[in-house]
Amino acid sequence: MLVTFTTDAYADIPMFRDIALTMLKMMGHSATVPGVILAADVPAALNRLKIAISAEKESTSVENESENEPIVSIHARALPLIDLLTAAAKEKCDVMWK
């Protein structure tokens, strides 16, 4: 199942549900879908996400479960959402997900 992040300042970003819920928790939000971050709260959510991603990047060792499948880091998965949040913060737009 997918969760789609939307804002008026950027293209929609679909994510697999488990990754999206992890990102929401990193931003300090519950794992409730649908949801919204008001424009005034977007910069703080973006900052929390960046800090959590940095901490995760430093503390996580990657284990390859299958040698045939590439591993995508949480940092790489977060980049589109970071771009969306950055654009929303710049334009002072709400961010919604469903």
Reported as a single tens digit per residue, the pLDDT across 27-72 is: 999 888 999 999 999 999 999 999 999 987 766 555 555 567 778 8
Question: 60-72 burial by CB neighbour count: b if 16+ within 10 A, else e?
Answer: eeeeeeeeeeeee
CA-nearest of 2, 9, 71 to 46 is 9
| 3-state class (DSSP) for residue 1 | coil
pLDDT exceeds cutoff 80 at 25: yes
Q: In the predicted model, what is the mean pLDDT of the chain?
A: 90
Q: What is the pLDDT of residue 97?
A: 97
Check residue 69 and report its DSSP letter: S
The pLDDT score that the predictor gives to residue 78 is 95
**23, 80 Cβ separation under 8 angstroms:** no
Per-domain residue ranges for the chain?
Answer: 2-57+75-97
Q: Which residue stretches of 1-98 are H helix?
A: 17-26, 42-59, 74-91
User: What is the per-residue pLDDT for 17?
Assistant: 96
The predicted-structure confidence for 61-72, as pLDDT tens digits, reads as follows 555 555 677 788
